Chains A and B, each alone.
Chain A
Amino acid sequence: MAVTEDRLFGKSIKRREDPRFITGQGRYVDDLKLPGMTYAAFVRSPHAHARIKGIDTTAAKAHPGVVAVFTGKDMTGVNSLPCGWDLRKEKGIPGVVQDLAMVPHMPLTSDVARHVGDPVAVVIADSQSAATDAAEKVNVTWEPLPAVTATDKAEKGPKIHDVPTGNVAFKWALGDAAATDAAFKTGGAVTVKKRIVNQRLVANAMEPRACVARYEDATGELTLWVTSQNPHVHRLLMCAFVLGIPEHKVRVIAPDVGGGFGSKIFLYNEEVVCSWASRKIKRPIRWTASRREAYMTDAHGRDHVTDAEIALSKEGKILGLRVKTTANLGAYLSTFAPAVPTFLYGTLLNGVYAIGAIHVDVTGVFTNTTAVDAYRGAGRPEACYVLERMVDAGAAALKMDPAELRRKNFIPKFSGAFNTLVAVTYDSGDYAGALDKLMQVFDYKKFRAEQAEARTQGRLLGVGFSTYIEACSIAPSKVVGALGAGAGLYESGTVRVHPTGMVTVYTGSHSHGQGHETTFAQLVADDLGIPMEQVEVIHGDTGQIAFGMGTYGSRSASVGGTAIKMSLNKIKEKGKLIAAHLLEASPKDIEYVKGQFQVKGVPAKAVPFGAVSLTAYVPHNYPEGLEPGLDETSFYDPSNFCFPFGAHACVVEVEPETGKVNVVKYVAVDDVGNVINPMIVDGMVHGGIAQGVGQALWEGAVYDNDSGQLMTGSMMDYAMPKADMLPAYVTDRTVTPTPVNPLGVKGAGETGTIASTPAVVNAVVDALAGLGVDHIDAMPLTAERVWKTIQAAKAGK
């Protein structure tokens, strides 16, 4: 599909949701006020690992204003929170070496608390203060148990669940081990081995998680307002697995949601407990996480310890890649946890390179920490980081320019299919094209001259590249089903044309910052040739929307958008029948052009869209046998993933005295296929880069391995990137449409996060290369870590 000047598709239209957000008129879960509202406060484990010897709720129950106190023992008939991804050999799931231990995760634990913040009781009261005060009066008798939090100590640590496999949750492998071994034995091969730690992150959405659960006794209906990226998934999991309540009697609404970054995909304890408790007390219950609770209980991201090896020919061809990763899953299996370090990770290790052989081994482990699950990028940033670091380390070993080495190994330009060695088939790509564009925008030669000059003055400048790929448009249901997913990953889209020609679009793709209300309206207005003002987009309500798998994995435009496009096609097909009838022409002679149905090539013989809409609802003069109404729903299940790619460059300056890293320049060239709204895509790229730079330099969730306490439990300790810590980015793009969907769009939600982390770390290593540094094991590259690296290099260690 070509994108031309006169179309709305491709224009930077300002986000229609922003006026309400920036004037404080957004409506979030915590803004909801209902008659008879009660408030919940959770009693949480202060210990990383402790047996519960008893819970005394007497004093809490007697506290003024308290309505009820519940513990796990009260929640009879309630099941474990489900893990929606299976890894078992008997299911034929590829790569499984040791079956996933499906450990229970009770909404309120009643035997053992397994991480700091694990909820054990809930206090419900007439006011939030009363609930919080009374929660302090719940007296839990704890028997502290030894704990383990560190990824690389988990296997030998104290056992967290009563399963025969101990703290090893699963083992999984992908690729060809024998071919990889052979590649490493190739005569003359240069091999490099590095330890690569991808630290644990906290998502830190601006709005903390919240829910309001309202059970109405008269109708038996439960409404749950919840900060969710996927309200239908919440409803399905809660009804079918945990509470066993009828799905048609439950409505889940995710109103305005202030950011998710993955952390709001999952079904959490608190929303289940509030839903259950509302049925008990027959009053609405509200709970909003404090920032402290958010740090302790929102699913964390990343947390891999990897040993990676790369083998290269003397000429710089990548012969083999061998990766062994231990992935920390935390204390429990969060909703999609097992998929992240396996199918979203191993399958991306081919990168944009033609590699001789690849083998990856992953061990998932339990620790006494908050559960780890998808966090912006989910598995793909970890893969990209390993590969892009190893490519740089390889270039250093060969004393070859890192950009040159990349160029030597790129998969040549293609469209249609490129089969990787790690089970996925890329859709279309021009990887050298992206690097070429980057080099144009970022004057590389000039930089190297500046760098050499700076070195003579004792200044440490460095550049880092990242030529990345990612898998978006998640995902073909059949494929993910075969890989262990408990769900299909299609999307629904309804286009409802009203009698006056106004259009309401219902999408299963929830928007929590991405701007769907604008992008989808733009898509529809463009397709129908009507003003955007005539189009409204509704999302986030199971009561209004047919179904929805939600927003994650950069799938909204490509999967959700395509479902809408399919409905638009149906609307136009039906409209043609109506128009043909009105024009007394044959339907096959009717075409739809710029907002009107017309006889092919005869714009004067036409019926406007609005007239056809009215006729559909006032069918006096109407085709025989045709149903009235103009309202179409489609479900789109993609035939493949889409694979955006690009090339990023980061320039840093390191202060030799303190080790502080300053990001001086950042250039991003992304290829996300066709672009519906360039401004929104740029915004996604900007935010993503900030997150990725944040991981590289500042962010990191730290547990004390002895006490199991979370040391970075607030924004005073956990360093979020702030605007003044980042340079103005230069962004640009190439456009390689995907053949997978009719819109040609790939996905733009995660590119920045995936690409930027290795670019920054590569830049710091490059800055220190003159001192003999070729790698830094762990992130974030805090000033102290970099300073110590410099000291060690100077001491010749």
Chain B
Amino acid sequence: MYPASFEYHSPTTVKDALGLMGKLGDDAKLLAGGHSLIPMMKLRLAQPKHLIDLRNVPGLKGVKEDGGTIVIGAMTTWYELETNAIVKAKCPIVSETASIVGDPAVRNLGTIGGGLAHADPAADMPATAIACNFEMVCEGPKGRRTVKVDEWFQGLMSTALKEDEILVEVRVPALAKGTGAAYLKFPHPASRFAIVGVAAVISTDGKGTCSKASIGVTGAGTKAVRAKGVEAGLSGKNLAGAGAIEAAAQKGAEGVDVQADLQGSVEYKAHLCRVFAKRAVEAAAKRAG
């Protein structure tokens, strides 16, 4: 599988990268880990004339803390997230999610910025991004702006990122005390992408009553969405109560535009949304204590 020919650019600053984007326009694509873009190029589904590689731009990689927020550079790989001490301590669900993306080769190259910008409907991190209320920092010719996750995923592989912008960092609120989080997925047997994946962040009052629930669902529809029905069904409920979680999880597919494909009918995938909502909430609630 040979891609169509293209020119390769390797800027060393975000500014230079933005400059190249301005000059080359639609003919150019940003290259991060290449694990979504290059397969599409090999199949000639994408034929960009120019690739602007972000790997040599310093400062786009790595994790730091900014008060109660974890700041993750867009070029940080899944593997770094899986193993990073700050992430593991402050928001372990992000490590957990990263640890089940694809296989080791994918995790060693694929990046969080690439993943969130590409917005594959079956990608894992989008569910966790919603549940954890990520903020995406985008830089364009006119400077930086921050986009909340609820505005980020707009449709099939489309996000709030503008054509002249680069996603430079992701801001993740550290989990508060008394909060538990979990991401669970039903993997596609071939690709290991999520047929359905659900991330749940559950805060309790210490006596088992849910004070706040934040749930993201990926895989089943054209984009990752917030499971508002499940969230509403959980908040204020005592989760230890018989069937409380199960009842709330019944709304797991609400708001998901479930798509049928070889891996499942609409009926089945909607069912999986409910099953995984239940499992993720149970796991998160257990961790919340």
| A residues at B contact (CB < 8 Å) | 128-129, 132-133, 136, 290-292, 657-658, 660, 697-698, 702, 711-712, 715-720, 725, 782-784, 787-788
Contacts and interface: CB of A to CB of B under 8 A. Distances in A.
A784 B263 contact: yes
Interface in B267-286: 268, 271-272, 275
Of all A-B residue pairs in the complex, the 7 with the closest CB atoms, nearest first, are A719-B189, A719-B190, A290-B1, A716-B191, A132-B2, A784-B268, A698-B189
Contacts of B189: 697-698, 719, 725, 782
A790 to B, nearest CB: 11
18 contacts: A133-B5, A136-B44, A291-B1, A292-B1, A658-B275, A660-B186, A697-B189, A698-B190, A711-B262, A716-B191, A720-B190, A725-B189, A782-B189, A782-B263, A783-B186, A784-B263, A784-B268, A788-B268
Contacts of A788: 268
Contacts of A133: 4-5
Given A657-B275, A716-B191, A719-B190, A129 B5 contact: yes
B260 to A, nearest CB: 10
Contacts of B13: none
Contacts of B43: 292
B265 interface: yes
B264 interface: yes
Interface in B43-70: 43-44
B249 to A, nearest CB: 11
Contacts of A291: 1
B217 to A, nearest CB: 16
Contact of B186 (A129, A658, A711, A718): A658
A697 B193 CA distance: 18
Nearest to B193: A716
Contacts of B4: 133
Nearest to B42: A290
Contacts of B193: 716
Interface in B10-24: none
Nearest to B191: A716
B275 A717 contact: no
B190 A717 contact: yes
Contact of A717 (B5, B191, B264, B265): B191
B190 A702 contact: no
B189 to A, nearest CB: 4
A726 to B, nearest CB: 12
A133 B272 CA distance: 43
B75 to A, nearest CB: 24
Contacts of A697: 189
Name A's interface SS: loop
Given A129-B5, A292-B43, A702-B262, 15 more contacts: A133-B4, A291-B1, A658-B272, A658-B275, A697-B189, A698-B190, A715-B190, A715-B191, A717-B191, A719-B190, A720-B190, A725-B189, A784-B264, A784-B268, A787-B268
A291 B265 CA distance: 27
Interface residues of B, number: 20
Contacts of B5: 129, 133
A720 B192 CA distance: 11
Nearest to B274: A657
A292 B40 CA distance: 12
Nearest to B2: A132
Contacts of B190: 698, 715-720
Contacts of B44: 136
Nearest to A700: B262
Interface of B: 1-2, 4-5, 43-44, 186, 188-191, 193, 262-265, 268, 271-272, 275
Among B188, B265, B268, chain A packs the most CB atoms within 10 A around the CB of B268
A72 to B, nearest CB: 24
A668 B209 CA distance: 52
A129 B2 contact: yes
A459 B2 CA distance: 49
A213 B168 CA distance: 50
Contacts of A711: 262
A720 B263 CA distance: 14
Name the residue in B2, B5, B193, B265 with the highest tally of chain A Cβ atoms < 10 Å from its Cβ.
B2
Nearest to A655: B275
A784 B186 contact: no
A720 B191 CA distance: 10
Contacts of B1: 290-292
A280 to B, nearest CB: 24
Given A658-B275, A716-B190, A720-B190, A784 B265 contact: yes
A787 B262 contact: no
Contacts of B188: 716, 719
Contacts of A784: 263-265, 268
Contacts of B268: 784, 787-788
Given A657-B275, A712-B262, A788-B268, A128 B191 contact: no
B271 A787 contact: yes
Contacts of A712: 262
A717 B272 contact: no
Nearest to A721: B189
Contacts of A717: 190-191, 262
A719 B195 CA distance: 13
A93 B46 CA distance: 53
B36 to A, nearest CB: 11
Contacts of A715: 190-191
Contacts of A716: 188, 190-191, 193
B235 to A, nearest CB: 25
A702 B186 CA distance: 21
A104 B223 CA distance: 48
Indicate the member of B5, B44, B189, B193 with the most A CB atoms within 10 Å.
B189
Contacts of B271: 787
Contacts of B264: 783-784
A658 B279 CA distance: 12
Contacts of A725: 189
A716 B5 CA distance: 24
A720 B193 CA distance: 14
Given A292-B43, A658-B275, A720-B190, A128 B263 contact: no
B265 A128 contact: no
A665 B245 CA distance: 33
A755 B268 CA distance: 31
B134 to A, nearest CB: 26
Contact of A128 (B2, B186, B262, B272): B2
A294 to B, nearest CB: 11
Contacts of B262: 702, 711-712, 717
A394 to B, nearest CB: 31
A788 B263 CA distance: 13
A173 B266 CA distance: 42
A698 B189 CA distance: 7
B3 to A, nearest CB: 9
Contacts of A787: 268, 271
A788 B265 CA distance: 10
Contacts of A129: 2, 5
Nearest to B278: A657
Contacts of A718: 190
A715 to B, nearest CB: 6
A314 B48 CA distance: 70
Nearest to A716: B191
A336 B244 CA distance: 61
Contacts of B263: 782, 784
Contacts of A136: 44
B81 to A, nearest CB: 21
Contacts of A128: 2
A725 B187 CA distance: 12
A483 B135 CA distance: 71
Contacts of A658: 186, 272, 275
